[in-house]
Amino acid sequence: MVQAYSREPGTGGPLSDIRPEGVRKIRLWAFCIALGGFLFGYDTGVVSGALLYIKSDFDLSSFEQSSVVSVLLIGAMIGAVSAGRMADRLGRRKTLAAEGLVFIGGTAILVFAPGYGALLIGRVVLGVAVGAASATVPVYLSEVSPTELRGRFLTLNQLMITTGILIAYLVNLAFSDGGQWRAMFAVGAVPALLMVAGTVWLLPESPQWLVLKGQVDKARAVVESVSGEARATRVVEQAVRRREDEKRGAGQKENWRVLLAPRVRPALIVGLTLAAAQQFGGINTIIYYAPTLIQKTGLSASNSIFYSVAIGAINLIMTVVAIRLVDRMGRRPLLLISLTGMLAMLVLLGFSYVVDLGSVLSLLFMVIYIASFAVGLGPVFWVLIGELFQPSARAAGSAASTAVNWASNFVVSLAFLPLADVIGQGETFWIFAAVVAFTLWFVGRYVPETRDREFDEVDTALQARFGRSPQAGPAPG
């Protein structure tokens, strides 16, 4: 309910129109939804440790090892692409529940995998769930959040992703003694079960989606369960009006086609560019290959798991900082600070390898780079894809952006080590630096502030940044 719990002039302080127990309820909903983010982090993080033991159990070649890691990314692209349509047809709630079941299925295949083939299948299935959930979670979170807390709740997604990564590293550490890789995967079933149970028993359908489907009374009942009756009526009327506007404008087209409407284009350009930039800035070369990189600076391999836990912890801590700041400072300042920090660190990291500044400095630059990502580009990308698209284009827009994010992740993860071999490690970091410099310019020029803004206001600001007057196209959605 981005717009649903909207601010009304003169209603007093933030959230004054939502009952305290209502706020608690929305928090619980947000937590259940964001379990999808946790699974995203856990299932992408767990494989680094599990692989060490799988490779000896099944005698895997290095190609087979990297395929076990990267097929998840292919599955994720497929999942992300399918999720938009499903979330529009079945609703956000059923889609999330179905994704939880796919998580459980993929995990079961991995836990009982008799050989390499089954491992690949399990990883693809898990990938489908990861990709689909990563597209659904921002949309659903955005639609159940009051405007004043929307940034916070959307950032919760990234917090859960980073928590998932860190917990995966710790689980790896705990089960590394006996090399129990099946147990490492099995732990992922617990949050998946919780997510399914939470979705079935706790979560309401998104009021935005209900209004889009003409189920106005049900939408009103959901809003009323956290706020007063008069408020719910006003809120639903606003959503109905918007649906009518969308029908007249871009929103009458089905699913993907809605993304081609001129009115939606600015949001799509920002969503897709940030999706690619988030990955081509190099984040997962550190998240996935930290131990290898650290070893290259001259530190011992035996410490590598320890260092990856440290990196995971910094990632998490700085995401908490972002949560505190995102609704106070706004999205743009966080993005600009984050990108500036990343740029400086990538340039320095490049030097540290090219002129060999020593392992301590390289490690320091890496840590500050991760911290800079975590305070801005990491969470704010996921925040914006929940906020920028008009309601009827939201699921499709989020799915398209998420799919591009996974495709870019796949390309960077696959190309990173070979590229570093050919042009050099430091030089590769400078390529990432160039991408980040471009992103800095792009954000300065095209990304509007969305903090405290209803969708209509966001849309006006977005159209203005692209040189279109708000009256230029059909009425905004």
**Residue pair 371/310 in contact by the 8 Å Cβ criterion:** no
Residue nearest to ligand BGC according to CB distances in the complex: 378
- Distance in Å, CB of 325 to ligand BGC, minimum: 16
**Using the rule CB under 6 A, which residue among 113, 283, 348, 367 binds ligand BGC?**
283
Please give the helix or strand (H or E) that residue 367 lies within, else none: helix 359-375
Which of 441, 412, 322 is closest to 370 using CA atoms?
322
- Distance in Å, CB of 406 to ligand BGC, minimum: 8
**Using the rule CB under 6 A, which residue among 95, 278, 297, 362 binds ligand BGC?**
278
Which of 287, 293, 297, 429 is closest to 361 using CA atoms?
297
Q: Does 287 bind ligand BGC (CB under 6 A)?
A: yes
- Distance in Å, CB of 405 to ligand BGC, minimum: 6
Distance CA 220, CA 232 (A): 6
Q: Which of 158, 362 has the CB closer to ligand BGC?
A: 158
Q: What is the DSSP string of 59-80?
A: T--HHHHHHHHHHHHHHHHHHH
Q: Which residues contact 5 (CB under 8 A, 6 or more apart)?
A: 15, 17, 18, 145, 146, 147, 148, 223, 226, 227, 231, 235
Tokens of 30: 């947000």
Distance CA 115, CA 131 (A): 24
Distance CA 422, CA 251 (A): 48
Tokens of 433: 């630096």
Q: Which of 162, 273 has the CB closer to ligand BGC?
A: 162
Which of 457, 465, 446, 456 is closest to 391 using CA atoms?
456
- The helix/strand/coil state of 282 is coil
Choose the stretch contacting ligand BGC; rule: CB under 6 A; options: 52-60, 125-133, 281-289, 445-453. Answer: 281-289
Choose the stretch contacting ligand BGC; rule: CB under 6 A; options: 7-15, 154-162, 329-337, 438-446. Answer: 154-162
Q: Does 163 bind ligand BGC (CB under 6 A)?
A: no
Q: Does 258 bind ligand BGC (CB under 6 A)?
A: no
**Residue pair 125/105 in contact by the 8 Å Cβ criterion:** yes
- Distance in Å, CB of 254 to ligand BGC, minimum: 28
Q: Which of 127, 378 has the CB closer to ligand BGC?
A: 378
Q: Which of 142, 409 has the CB closer to ligand BGC?
A: 409
DSSP state, residue 1: -
Tokens of 140: 């659903």
In 145-228, which ranges are continuous DSSP H helix?
150-175, 181-186, 189-201, 207-212, 216-224
Distance CA 454, CA 241 (A): 14
- Distance in Å, CB of 453 to ligand BGC, minimum: 23
Q: Does 48 bind ligand BGC (CB under 6 A)?
A: no
Phi, psi of 19 (to 5 degrees): -65, 150
Region class of 346: left (phi > 0), else alpha (psi between -120 and 50), else beta: alpha
- Distance in Å, CB of 133 to ligand BGC, minimum: 12
Please give the helix or strand (H or E) that residue 352 lies within, else none: helix 331-354
Choose the stretch contacting ligand BGC; rule: CB under 6 A; options: 196-204, 213-221, 265-273, 277-285. Answer: 277-285
Q: Does 158 bind ligand BGC (CB under 6 A)?
A: yes
**Using the rule CB under 6 A, which residue among 131, 378, 386, 448 binds ligand BGC?**
378
Q: Does 273 bind ligand BGC (CB under 6 A)?
A: no
Q: Does 476 bind ligand BGC (CB under 6 A)?
A: no
Q: Does 284 bind ligand BGC (CB under 6 A)?
A: yes
**Using the rule CB under 6 A, which residue among 409, 425, 428, 463 binds ligand BGC?**
409
- Distance in Å, CB of 165 to ligand BGC, minimum: 6
Choose the stretch contacting ligand BGC; rule: CB under 6 A; options: 116-124, 276-284, 414-422, 466-474. Answer: 276-284
Q: Does 315 bind ligand BGC (CB under 6 A)?
A: yes
- Distance in Å, CB of 36 to ligand BGC, minimum: 13
Please give the helix or strand (H or E) that residue 451 lies within, else none: none
**Residue pair 422/356 in contact by the 8 Å Cβ criterion:** no
Choose the stretch contacting ligand BGC; rule: CB under 6 A; options: 4-12, 157-165, 181-189, 343-351. Answer: 157-165
Choose the stretch contacting ligand BGC; rule: CB under 6 A; options: 148-156, 179-187, 279-287, 300-308. Answer: 279-287
Choose the stretch contacting ligand BGC; rule: CB under 6 A; options: 70-78, 93-101, 155-163, 204-212. Answer: 155-163
- Distance in Å, CB of 96 to ligand BGC, minimum: 19
Q: Which residues contact 92 (CB under 8 A, 6 or more apart)?
A: 136, 139, 140, 143, 205, 206, 209, 395
Q: Which of 338, 409 has the CB closer to ligand BGC?
A: 409
**Beta pairing partners, 18:** 227
Amino acid at 149: L
Number of chain residues interacting with ligand BGC (CB under 6 A): 11
- Distance in Å, CB of 41 to ligand BGC, minimum: 7
**Given the rule CB under 6 A, which residues bind ligand BGC?**
158, 161-162, 278, 283-284, 287, 315, 378, 405, 409
